[in-house]
Amino acid sequence: MRQPLTISGIGAADVLIVRGERVMLDPRVAEAFGTETRQVNQAVARNQDKFTEAQCFVLSGEEFDHLRSQVATTKTGRGGRRTARRVFTVKGGARLATILNTPAALAATDLIIDTFLLVQEQLAKGERAISVPEPDRIQSTMK
C-alpha cells in the first residue's frame, strides 16, 4: 500500500488572500516541499516560462506592508529577508512540485497525477459523482 504524502501540516493559517487569490508565502511553500526558500525562488527564476501571474507573483510594497501589519515578520533594517516575498497559488504550488526534486515535491506530483487519472477514469465510465477511494491520502496533506 502506498504511503500517504507527508507535507508538514499546511493549515488555514498558512493560506492568505492576496489579489483575491488563496496563496502561500514562499518560505511556507519551501518548508512544505522540504527545501529552502532560496531554492524555491531559484527554481522559479530558472523556469520563468512555466509560471504565470495565476501561479505565483511577487508582493508589491503595499501588499507586503499590509502583510507585515497582519503577521509577525522581520522589521525593516533588522536582518531577515532582503528580497520581496513571492507567493504561490494552488496552481503555482502544483507547478512547483513538478520542478523541485525533493521527496515531498515528487510525492505531491504523484498525488496530483493519480487524482487526475482517477477522475478521468470515472468520467470515462460515465460517472457523474466522483469518488476518492483513499481520502486519507489527500487529507493527510491538509493537516
Q: Which residue has the higher pLDDT, 71 or 133?
A: 133
Q: Taking a C-beta distance cutoff of 8 angstroms, is the pair 92, 21 a contact? A: no
Given a cut of 90, whether residue 14 has pLDDT beyond it is: no
| Residue 73: partners with Cβ closer than 8 Å, 6 or more residues away | 67, 80, 81
Q: Which residue has the higher pLDDT, 10 or 129?
A: 129
Q: In the predicted model, what is the mean pLDDT of residues 10-27?
A: 82
Residue with cell 492568505: 16
pLDDT classification of 130: cutoffs 50, 70, 90: confident
pLDDT at 5: 35
pLDDT at 50: 95
Q: Which has the minimum average pLDDT: 18-27, 63-72, 93-102, 118-127?
A: 63-72
Given a cut of 90, whether residue 87 has pLDDT beyond it is: yes
Given a cut of 60, whether residue 57 has pLDDT beyond it is: yes
Given a cut of 90, whether residue 105 has pLDDT beyond it is: yes
Q: Taking a C-beta distance cutoff of 8 angstroms, is the pair 95, 50 a contact? A: yes
Torsion of CA 50, 54, 57, 60, to 10 degrees: 150
Most confident of 10-14, 19-23, 131-135: 19-23
Q: In the predicted model, what is the mean pLDDT of residues 80-92?
A: 82
pLDDT at 64: 82
